[in-house]
Structure 1
Amino acid sequence: MPRLHDRFWSCPCAHSARRRGRPRAGAAGPAAKVGEMIDSSVLDPAPPAAHRAQDPGPAHGGPAGFGRASSWHHHLVQRSLVLFLVGVVLALVLNLLQIQRNVTLFPEEVIATVFSSAWWVPPCCGTAAAVVGVLYPCIDSHLGEPHKFKREWASVMRCIAVFVGINHASAVSLKLDFANNVQLSLTLAALSLGLWWTFDRSRSGLGLGITIAFLATLITQFLVYNGVYQYTSPDFLYIRSWLPCIFFSGGVTVGNIGRQLAMGVPEKPHSD
């Protein structure tokens, strides 16, 4: 028995209705194309490229990007605190050695601590150590030259020991048999460069060490000129000529500590 559907489409009226329902190519062509475009846009679930570009992902403020930024800042604060404490301890020990050897002289009214040092020396040295220790790995990352030479804590501790030895040699220079201060300064300069060559060997470390020595020497000249403290037997304006060597070796030492603390730290997030 034939189906009702087949009988309907086989009748003449159905054929005429089907012909009338077909759109003409001239007038209904654009309308048909617009309809196809609307259907394709509705059925396509992918968002436009402009919306995809504005969609915040992990690197543009998303949860993962915020977590990386928070972790990086947390490690930065921790490293700064550790470097500050290291600077305070080194300042107390080394400054006490200089005072006991009568290399540096403070007015008696400013000596107010059990370590016989001016109250402002430890926090200033701690702040400088935090800045220098954070600056070294940041410069390495900026230059794209990660420091990998002798990256272990044993090497860092030996570097600290050599730095303390250089400072001790400058403190007991009055008892050493040197012809003049120039000879002592050249000897300490050679020891400081040897410290850099043994524990650093990076161009960034050499450049930062020289810059730190220059700036710290200028600040020290300013302090001594204003009578904050003084050096015995000054031979380089108001200070001793070997003092830049101490600043250079101290910068390299603190820089190595900062680099070692920065190992394993999450990468700093970049904002596009």
Structure 2
Amino acid sequence: MATLDPKIRKTKSLLKRGVVLFLIGVFLALILNLLQVQRNITLFPAGVLGDFSLSAWWVPPVCGTAAVCIGLMYPCLDVRLGEPLQGKCEWSNVIRCIAVFVGINHASAKMDFANNLQFSLTLAAMSVGLWWLFDRSRSGFGLSLFIAIIATVATQLMVYKGVYSYTEPDFLYVRSWLPCVFFSGGVTIGNIGRQLAIYENEMQKEHSS
């Protein structure tokens, strides 16, 4: 039984981190949806978007599941690439990262720009700035970029399949901010996952000492 102890502790640690990441992903999805609904009210004609609670009830659970995958992958990828968990990653830093992430989404919902290109470039600069301020790791940038590409393609496929419906003139405008939101979201969830891993490692060291 003694030999199973470390494995059991590791499994419990992963489960705890997974539950926390899932809840955070669901919570952020609900908040960001409210921001985007505010934007959509001004951008889209009435009836273009389906009711969130009915037509897209599955979005928060999917975001929660994605948060679990991303939050657990980040520290594992750091170890494999030889990048130790960032020394600057503290809970206060993580909270600031979340605040900036929500701010980026708030900007996408509230700010008006002269054209789509200016809007996209501004959000892209803000997203890269988020990574520079709170991450600066190769693994973080690469994984967040990969997540942004895959999630954007998946979202657009759902649009084509009719899961979401936008009017054609507005479709490109909506697509323009998706990669930035997914990229900054990946960085944010990744930092949360790293901090949870650091916290669990410290707790395990205390128990073993």
Q: TM-score range by the shorter chain?
A: 0.7 to 0.9
Once residues 264 and 141 of structure 1 are traced to their aligned partners in structure 2, the CA distance between those partners, rounded to angstroms, is 16
Match of 2:63 in 1: 125
Match of 1:185 in 2: 120
1:103-123, Cα deviation, whole Å (9 max, x unpaired): 685324x633xxxx7211110
Q: Higher Cα Rg: structure 1 or 2?
A: 1
Match of 1:88 in 2: 26
User: Is residue 2:7 matched to residue 1:69?
Assistant: yes
Match of 2:49 in 1: 106
SS at match of 1:265: helix
- The number of residue pairs the alignment matches comes to 195
Structure 1 segments, 4+ long, off by >4 Å, are none
User: Which one has more relative contact order, counting CA pairs under 8 Å at least 6 apart?
Assistant: 2
Shift of residue 266 of structure 1?
Answer: 4.9
Normalised to the residue count of structure 1, the TM-score between the two structures is 0.67
- 1:64 to 1:146, Cα distance in 2 relative to 1, 3 A: farther
Once residues 11 and 179 of structure 2 are traced to their aligned partners in structure 1, the CA distance between those partners, rounded to angstroms, is 33
Normalised to the residue count of structure 2, the TM-score between the two structures is 0.87
Matched letter for residue 215 of structure 1: I
Once residues 230 and 258 of structure 1 are traced to their aligned partners in structure 2, the CA distance between those partners, rounded to angstroms, is 33
- The answer to which structure has the higher helix fraction is 2
**Structure 1: 5+ residue runs without aligned partners?**
1-62, 268-272
Matched letter for residue 72 of structure 1: K
Structure 1 vs Structure 2: percent identity of aligned residues? 61
Once residues 190 and 32 of structure 2 are traced to their aligned partners in structure 1, the CA distance between those partners, rounded to angstroms, is 18
Once residues 80 and 141 of structure 1 are traced to their aligned partners in structure 2, the CA distance between those partners, rounded to angstroms, is 19
| Contact map agreement 1:149 1:201 (CA 8 A) in 2 | no
**Structure 2: 5+ residue runs without aligned partners?**
203-209
| Contact map agreement 1:94 1:164 (CA 8 A) in 2 | yes
